[in-house]
Structure 1
């Protein structure tokens, strides 16, 4: 980092390169007093801010990163994506990750947007080390040695740096009206010239002190502009952390630094803040690439060493467009990529993933797949490790835009839930159900131990992949609850095996119930199902049935499925022996009793035991 005592020399060099007017230091001080009055006398110099915000005491190689959103709407999935990258790199390097609120665009600010940002980051495990945080009572606080972290609360800092730039001949006030700027743009367009406030169109760049005083006397509002170089032929080159070496033309536009209300533009504020907050790496969306010449110019003019920049491509959507050829009449299909749209794509909103029932860890791992293709192989080789063990590397981030892939999202979600234990499934699933399936949530809370035992079936193991997202909890868990089972039974929507006639169901189920021993192991229990199958003309061995299907009414699978449907109302359950063990003999007997009478008789009502799942 440049030392404070070198700032003036650096700025003087920059002033020469920018073609600064040959105004005297006295005139510049007079201009500052005209513009800022008494505030000019109390303005701090850069060396004062260097002392207030000193370098961080961090180990060599530590990365200081940040997420710096504007409170202008819902939390975009791209915000979680960028936050994830910034946080992981800071944590891995034993650095710091902070949240800065860039609220300088006051007109676009939306009430409640900060709540959305902070709560979403917390939900996805991306809490910052410092910055804008929630306090113990739920209110917002600013915590950390580089506060304030809200840009509208740092207006005096930006003003002081703008004053310093005026002092060095690198900034000036501009009193152009909106109408005048529009006229400039029209003229430039007609001449096919570059649009913007530059060159001969920068009418206030070299205005006299008297002209400024006269404009102020008339009460005209002004903005503060940077004095850019006159020569637009130069180029700026830097090494981007994701895209490699980039070369672009230098900035020759006198961009606005401070708006007429004294609030800075994003460009000016970010340069001041990233320096004073000692940011080492600015990792952001690549929509900011075009601003890099201006941003690097700002750091040079301000006498700051710029941070390392890395521009991450946005998550994209693939649109399939069909067009009919006017001459041949043939329909041609083309694919085009575009950035996820807040307006058209529900998956752009981070709330979509929670509503869809994707666990937060599932969304994070999906984004890590997008960030670095090596994550998928790492996860395959490290199935039980937390995603935080994955060594994310900045130079390995995908340089091209990754496609939104909801099929991939489902696969990742399924794998994440499969690795959870029963307690984790219960807690995460209940949190989702309380908002989106209150009936199921009430039953889960009413029977917590019973529910946990049901969720423990086939966990841990390779077979527990029936829950892809949390909406799958109802079909995979609902039949354990008598309330939901009774409703299904009353509707009579049981899909029994076609191979077993209705008249034979009571006989088979009665014999299966009579031979059921809760203490018997899985193999012994299935042997008894084989015996019952053989006694009633159903092949107890699937191979025998396959070899000569005409010799049998059906097979042992049909008989097992009969029992499964009678007990659960569905053919899709985990291991039936474990299901029956969790239900308990009383519930098994009560449920099967519905089907032990003749088909024409009404089913008996379910009588759940006093303690769900109690075995006898």
Structure 2
């Protein structure tokens, strides 16, 4: 007998998808990819995006994690239509008619269906101790058998079960896997068939009365009318168990369409792990990446638009999203590619948008804290952003490579000021000429264009002789933006003062 589940997308009229993280830590970049894929599919199909909190693993529960996960997800541009949200007071609340959306509030619901499965002999009590289970696994390993529960407790009579319960013996409830095969069609991996005798009698209710993921996810998806399930490829092996639970509970016709996403890989082509350094959304936010860059980057991990376009905003991703463009091969998490995508998005942003996002990072930097009030002004910072714009990768980059813009005094190396083998006299002459040219430019004409025009005219054919000493006098650095840009940002008074200061050391 084959338990064959084949549900075509067009049979599902109302698209309802969910993202259901466990509040056990920060939102991982892989979790955001799952949320984004669900969200893109929902918006492309005029559907509903639901957020559920799967907090049944009480041993790993982290206080405040659920709220932080939602904050990071909403920051990325994903809006929640239904489920767990944060209200105007900053507290967790729930919206929608299919709640509760927090699993720990649904224990009575799960117990009801566990009782149904027990009554119908589709599940059974298991009293095996951890010691017995360990011994069983060791014997199976020694005999080169696949690890799998041996159904030791399956044939206990009702009286035996009741006596053990009355004696206070701890127990779990296991789902009895039926004979046969289970088949289903995945939107990415195609037709999959599994022999049921390779499946374990999964625990569906733990000894603490909490359901396992396998039971809760099936019940919740059914009661919340979930039409499509998007999740990582590591869950393919569990899908037959979930399909069998749908059938056992009488919901075979309501089984959702499954779409498993290729795993995110590290550069060694192994599955990206939370142990691989900064891979939480919060970490990338702290590093100064824009939400546009993060969303664009993770959307392309396992999805290919089949066009030349590589830079997308959220609306463009929604318009082009198609499950037929999803890959079976895992996408490599390449920070160099993220940096390039981030830089391209920064180029598209206005100076005002960069200023608004970058200022909180800038205010934490020591060179900013030690700067003058003029150097902290909005006008000054926006000039700096204008100069650095095309080279920025992250919001945290502002001023980092050009801290001389915030210095109260520039100390120049006399030898650095000199252009090639020029003498002190020639270097001094170049700076005096520059000072003279700049002093005659009116404050109202102190623009990048005017500064470049006047200084280039003064430089003539010997640009290095004239412009190199000026740039070093303004910055004290071997590498920096052009002297025109530096003078424009610094302003007339500061520019002339830095030239004077440098003349004193020659």
Please give the TM-score of this superposition, normalised by the length of structure 1: 0.72
Whether contact under 8 Å (1:508, 1:532) holds in the other structure is no
Aligned runs of 1:223-372 on 2, under 5 Å? 223-229=172-178, 231=179, 234-250=180-196, 252-304=199-251, 305-319=254-268, 337-343=269-275, 345-372=276-303
Correspondence 1:164-175 to 2 at 5 A? 164-175=116-127
The separation in 2 between residues aligned to 1:520 and 1:223, in whole angstroms, is: 78
Using the TM superposition, give the Cα deviation of residue 133 of structure 1 relative to its aligned residue in structure 2, in angstroms: 1.8
Structure 2: how far apart are the matches of 1:267 and 1:421? 47
Equivalent of 1:134, from 52, 76, 86? 86
Match of 1:605 in 2: none
Deviation track 1:126-163 (CA, whole Å, cap 9, x = no partner) reads 34222222221212222222221111111000011112
- Paired with 1:369 and 1:480, the residues of 2 have a C-alpha distance of 37
Contact kept in structure 1, 2:448 and 2:488, CA below 8 Å: no
**Residues 1:64 and 1:430: Cα distance change in structure 2 (over 3 Å):** same
Aligned-residue offset at 1:415? 0.8
Contact 1:429–1:470 under 8 Å retained in 2: yes
1:124 corresponds to which of 52, 76, 84: 76
Greater length-normalized contact order (CA 8 Å, ≥ 6 residues apart): 2
What residue in structure 1 maps to residue 8 of structure 2?
none
Preserved CA contact (<8 Å) 1:67 1:100: yes
Distance (Å, rounded) in 2 between the aligned partners of 1:279 and 1:496:
71
C-alpha displacement at 1:507, in angstroms?
Answer: 1.9
Q: CA RMSD in A?
A: 3.1
SS in 1 for 2:53: coil
Judge conservation of contact 2:16–2:49 (CA < 8 Å) in 1: yes
Where in structure 2 are the equivalents of 1:170-181 lying within 5 Å? 170-181=122-133
Aligned residues: 490
Aligned partners of 2:477 and 2:502: how far apart in 1? Answer: 15
> Could you say which residue in structure 2 is the equivalent of 1:204?
153
Deviation readout 1:453-474 (Å, 9 max, x if unpaired) = 332348xxxxx42112334312
Aligned residue number for residue 100 of structure 2: 148
> SS of 2:332's equivalent?
coil
- Cα deviation, residue 372, structure 1: 2.4
C-alpha distance 567-186 of structure 1, shift in aligned 2 (>3 A) = closer
2:368 matches 1:440: yes
Q: TM-score, normalised by structure 2?
A: 0.87
TM superposition shift of 1:187: 4.0
Deviations, residues 19-69 of structure 1 (Å, cap 9, x unaligned): xxxxxxxxxxxxxxxxxxxxxxxxxxxxxxxxxxxxxxxx98553222211
By how many angstroms is 1:532 displaced?
Answer: 3.7
Determine which of 20, 24, 45 is the counterpart of 1:93.
45
Superposed CA deviations along residues 208-241 of structure 1, whole A, max 9, x for unmatched, are 2221222123222222222221x3xx33221112
Q: Please tell me whether the aligned partners of residues 446 and 491 of structure 2 are also in contact (alpha carbons under 8 angstroms).
A: no
Structure 2: unaligned runs, 5 residues or longer: 4-10
- Which of 565, 577, 582 aligns to 2:484? It is 577
Question: 1:314–1:402: 8 Å Cα contact kept in structure 2?
Answer: yes
Structure 2 equivalent of residue 563 of structure 1? 470
- Contact 1:455/1:477 (CA < 8 Å) preserved in 2? no
**Residue in structure 1 matched with residue 32 of structure 2 by the alignment:** 80
Question: Once the 2 structures are TM-superposed, how far is the Cα of residue 254 of structure 1 from its aligned partner?
Answer: 2.3
The CA distance in 1 between the partners of 2:116 and 2:144, in whole Å, is 36
Q: How far did residue 96 of structure 1 move?
A: 1.5
Distance 1:372 1:522 in 2: 43
- What is the DSSP-based 3-state SS (H/G/I as helix, E as strand, rest coil) of the residue aligned with 1:212? helix
- Mapped to 2, the partners of 1:495 and 1:207 lie a distance apart of 91
Distance 1:448 1:318 in 2: 41
- CA 1:142–1:389 in 2, change beyond 3 Å: closer, same or farther? closer
> How far off is 1:298 after superposition?
0.7
Greater alpha carbon shift after TM alignment, 348-357 vs 161-170 = 348-357
- List aligned pairs for 1:547-562, cutoff 5 A: 555-562=462-469
Larger CA Rg, structure 1 vs 2: 1
